[in-house]
Structure 1
Amino acid sequence: MRLITLSLALLLVLIQYPLWLGKGGWLRVGELEEQVAAAHKKNDELERRNAKLDSEVRDLKDGTGAVEERARYELSMIKQNEIYVQILGKGQTRPAPDAANPTP
């Protein structure tokens, strides 16, 4: 009787092995679900970035406002006959560009 009990217990363990540790086992499924969640998170971030870039591209194609804004802030360019005024906070020092000779 003892031999039958041991053989049934061993058989039960052998049957459980693929369920827990096999190729499609619960542990592997949990790992794959974590990978899928990480991929969804990254995709959401990339979709937000793409939407922002798409908006910027449409703005650059349709109007001159975005081009002018980039020229002003990134290249410190000014229009002809325009006076450049920059207000600095306490302790900040930065030389203003020469209004007579704007940088291209």
Structure 2
Amino acid sequence: MRLIALSLTALLLLIQYPLWLGKGGWLRVWELDKQVIQAKKHNDELKERNSKLDSEVQDLKTGTGAVEEHARFELGMIKKDEIFVQILNAASSAQTSNLNDPKPPKEKTAPSINH
């Protein structure tokens, strides 16, 4: 009787091996499921990006608002009869004041060589 119980236990373990560790086992299915979830998340992000780009393309094709916005911010263009005002922060105004300094920079002279 003991021999039959041991052989049945061994057969049960042999049957369990492919279920857990085999090619189509639970561990492999779990890993593939994680990969599918990551791929779906990445695809959703790409779809959102594509829809934003598509709406921008449609706006550029049909409307002048986007073209005007790009011209203003990227190319620095202004409309006729508009006044352009530029506000500088403290760091850039300090650099500008150094450029407008009336004192000429001191010239460095090369040392003379006597033979």
Q: Same fold (TM over 0.5)?
A: yes
1:9 equivalent in structure 2: 9
Q: Distance in 1 between matches of 2:10 and 2:49?
A: 55
Match of 2:105 in 1: none
The CA deviation at 1:92 is 5.1
Question: Matched residue of 2:85: which SS?
Answer: coil
Change in Cα spacing, 1:39 to 1:15, as seen in structure 2 (3 Å) is same
TM-score (ref. length: structure 1): 0.79
Offset of residue 76 of structure 1: 1.5
What letter matches 1:13 in structure 2? L
Identity %: 70
Q: Match for 1:72: what amino acid?
A: R
Distance 1:68 1:39, change over 3 A: same
Opposite residue 37 of structure 1, the aligned amino acid is: I
Query: Which residue in 2 is equivalent to 1:93?
Result: 92
- Higher Rg of the two aligned structures: 2
Structure 1 runs of 4+ off > 4 angstroms?
A: none
In structure 2, the residue matched to 1:102 is none
Q: Which residue of 2 aligns with 1:98?
A: none
2: distance between equivalents of 1:26 and 1:48?
A: 33
| Structure 1 residues 53-99: Cα deviation after superposition (integer angstroms, max 9, x where no partner) | 011001000011111111111121223443211334x535378xxxx
Give the TM-score normalised by structure 2: 0.72
Give the AA of the match of 1:91: A
Aligned to 2:22: 22
Which structure carries more relative contact order (alpha carbon 8 Å, separation 6+)? 1
Report the equivalent of 1:64.
Answer: 64
Residue 34 of structure 2 corresponds to which residue in structure 1? 34
Over the aligned positions, Cα root-mean-square deviation in angstroms equals 1.9
Q: Distance in 2 between matches of 1:92 and 1:37?
A: 48
Residue number in structure 2 paired with 1:79: 79
Gaps of 5+ in 2: 97-115
